[in-house]
Chain A
Amino acid sequence: MYQIIRQIIKTGIKTEAAPQSDESLRVTPAHLQQQILDAFGGALSIRLVDAGSCNGCELEIHAVNNAYYNLEGLGIKFVASPRHADMLLVTGPVSRHMEVALKRTYEATPDPKLVVAIGECACNGGIFGTDVDNYASCGNIANVIPVDVAVSGCPPTPVAILQAILTAISPEK
């Protein structure tokens, strides 16, 4: 126990300042009232849905939970069920085998809800193509469920992911 405490003290606080929101990431005009955003701002629950990614974006979503980005320190946490979530973070392209699961997850998330598309493939199908040229893909997330904010990158950095989440819960400027 002594060793653990010593290591915690030695490590110190690694958390860095959170990035600002970025209006250029907004896909759909903000549709939540200010009061609700204020409420979300205090505590936001996110459900991740991998709709077909290569697992690269998930690595960076894991990283936003590390001590440097400290997502939970901002009052934002990942929850186990869409029924407990305010926001869906969706990676992909949406594979055709995940289309129904993604729609059902969206429907299971209570209103008001936000959807943030994470990564190049989630934005435009990426290297895997779209429903036009790939038999197994529905293309980007917005082809299947409404998207509020989207961030590209292969994969987007943890700062970019944080920025996208924060943009979604900020009032439109």
Chain B
Amino acid sequence: MNNLHPNLQLTPFPTAIPAWQAPIVAGDLQLICHKVRESGGRLVAIWGRDRREAGFVLHVLLLTQTGLLCLNLPLSRQVPSYPDISRIFPSANRMQRAVYDMLGMAALQAADQRRWLRHAAWADDSFPLRKDFDAQAALRSDLDDYPFVRVEGQGVHEIPVGPVHAGIIEPGHFRFSVVGEKVLRLEERLGYIHKGIEKRFESSTLQQGAKLAGRVSGDSTVAYAWAYAMAAECIADKTPPDRALWLRALFLERERIANHLGDLGYLGNDVAFSFGFAQFWILKEQVLRHNAALFGHRYLMDAVVPGGVSVDLDEAGKKVLSEECAMLTREVQLLRRLYEEHAGVQDRFIGTGRVAPKLAAQLGLCGLAGRASSQAWDMRVQFACAPYGMLDVQMATHQNGDVAARVNVRFDELLESLRLQREIMANLLGTGDLAYPLASLPANGFGVGMVEGWRGEVMVAIHTDAAGNLDRVHPHDPSWQNWPVLEHAIIGNIVPDFPLINKSFNLSYSGCDL
């Protein structure tokens, strides 16, 4: 990592994964990003921070072959602007726009300067994450008019969809430009469920923040709670008890199992194979019921806390989960065969919504969808935090990048998670401490946590103030990277295949709208 720039002063984070930070000057930002990109690295997240008299800081989190690198770029109070990096990492586009909306920190000469998270709920020149933001004075209830890119030509027409969608799904707006049935262009507009989560963190205690982190995206509650706890433990420079780490891995794999089961059911449903929906959702319901009976919550909310976990698993519970594992393995293998042998299902899956590996690499596609397009990154494999280092996780990848590939990766990961669940239980012996007390954090701390959620890498960064309170918390969902790629996946497909393609990615709205 030292070869990225001669002046890079790297400081390691005392966190569960390999991670470093380094202060940089504005002139070096693009250079370092270029180097990371050339060596096969990726952009994870961008966020800003208002430090009052000391100005602003821009944080750019990159993932290299050796670990995470957080670049800290101080900006002046008067001119809080920085060099655009969206030409190097296309996924930076929306993140930079969100940083402007929240803090008024601008990416100089960025091609796309449209607002992203802000629609019209607050004044154009107020920025909610600035410490002097006056909510009452800033509120507006105008209707905004977003400048969508128009596609023109003979026979081209637009189909506006949302924000209220036709299914049971989160809100967002999709603008399709089509000729006949064929999609020429899709443009997404999100931000509808922006509910001030980042601002809310700033008035939360460490414990309240853990609950809030677990509700950034409800389907990934374990991943967020773990990433948040990891960031807090990084600041406190402490490691949870072994038993807590094993239980966290168990919860994270159960979250992956439940979500993959649900998605595989819906992917069947979306190609009119309702048998698949019925079968997979029976399996998912059994997982959820076991969660409720053994851990007190169907989705394991609040099971991971800073310092450890809040619930244990006894021998009787292990027996229940062992039997569940055996049943699920058997049923999933059977259903996989039925999906694979069904000509109608495969006809709809194969070749639909294809993202070629080269495009995936260019755009930074990550997580499950990335692995289905040859982007072989899995935090549990390359940067395994405890206890994953002892589990030898087998990464699932595919090179076709179509709906069928994303279905295949889900099947492979589901079966691997069931294997991991068995291994984890074999390591959960006797009893032990579930957590060490972590009531508050040291002052002026900065920590990062990142885990491989079912959708992809979930990252949480925490900054504390001079009193050790939460000064700034930034949760990052892998959907930030993947939403823009969905716009490419649909090109040339027909409109009725959009629900199927969309479901095969199954991205989070709440996790990005914040």
State the A residues within 8 Å of B (CB).
Answer: 3-4, 7-8, 11, 14, 47-63, 65-68, 78, 80-82, 93, 95-101, 105, 127-129, 133-137, 154-155, 157
Chain A contacts for B128, CB-based, 8 A: 135-136
Contact among A7, A57, A67, A95 for B194, CB-based, below 8 A: A95
Contact among B133, B193, B301, B510 for A154, CB-based, below 8 A: B301
Once the chains bind, are B168 and A78 in contact (CB under 8 Å)?
yes
Question: CB of B282 within 8 A of chain A?
Answer: yes
Once the chains bind, are B193 and A135 in contact (CB under 8 Å)?
no
Name the distance in Å between B393's Cβ and chain A's nearest Cβ: 25
Contact among B193, B203, B299 for A98, CB-based, below 8 A: B193
Chain A contacts for B334, CB-based, 8 A: 3, 7
Name the distance in Å between A23's Cβ and chain B's nearest Cβ: 26
Chain B contacts for A100, CB-based, 8 A: 143
Chain A contacts for B279, CB-based, 8 A: 7, 11
- Taken residue by residue from 133 to 145, chain B's Cβ proximity to chain A (1 for < 8 Å, 0 otherwise) reads as 1010011010100
Given contacts A58-B169, A101-B171, 4 further A-B contacts (CB under 8 A): A54-B215, A56-B301, A135-B122, A135-B199
Once the chains bind, are A105 and B197 in contact (CB under 8 Å)?
no
Once the chains bind, are A54 and B510 in contact (CB under 8 Å)?
yes
- Taken residue by residue from 289 to 314, chain B's Cβ proximity to chain A (1 for < 8 Å, 0 otherwise) reads as 00010000011010000000000000
- Taken residue by residue from 160 to 180, chain B's Cβ proximity to chain A (1 for < 8 Å, 0 otherwise) reads as 000110111111000000000
Name the distance in Å between A56's Cβ and chain B's nearest Cβ: 3
Once the chains bind, are B285 and A55 in contact (CB under 8 Å)?
no
Once the chains bind, are A56 and B168 in contact (CB under 8 Å)?
no
Contact A52 to B215, CB < 8 A, known contacts A154-B301, A157-B298:
no
Contact among B191, B200, B275, B341 for A128, CB-based, below 8 A: B200
Which residue on B lies nearest to A5, using beta carbons?
B275
Question: CB of B388 within 8 A of chain A?
Answer: no
Contact A52 to B193, CB < 8 A, known contacts A7-B338, A96-B121, A96-B141:
yes
Once the chains bind, are B219 and A55 in contact (CB under 8 Å)?
yes
A55 to B335, CA, bound (A): 27
Once the chains bind, are B510 and A67 in contact (CB under 8 Å)?
no
Once the chains bind, are B164 and A82 in contact (CB under 8 Å)?
yes
Question: CB of B411 within 8 A of chain A?
Answer: no
Once the chains bind, are B170 and A65 in contact (CB under 8 Å)?
no
A62 to B269, CA, bound (A): 13
Question: CB of B192 within 8 A of chain A?
Answer: yes
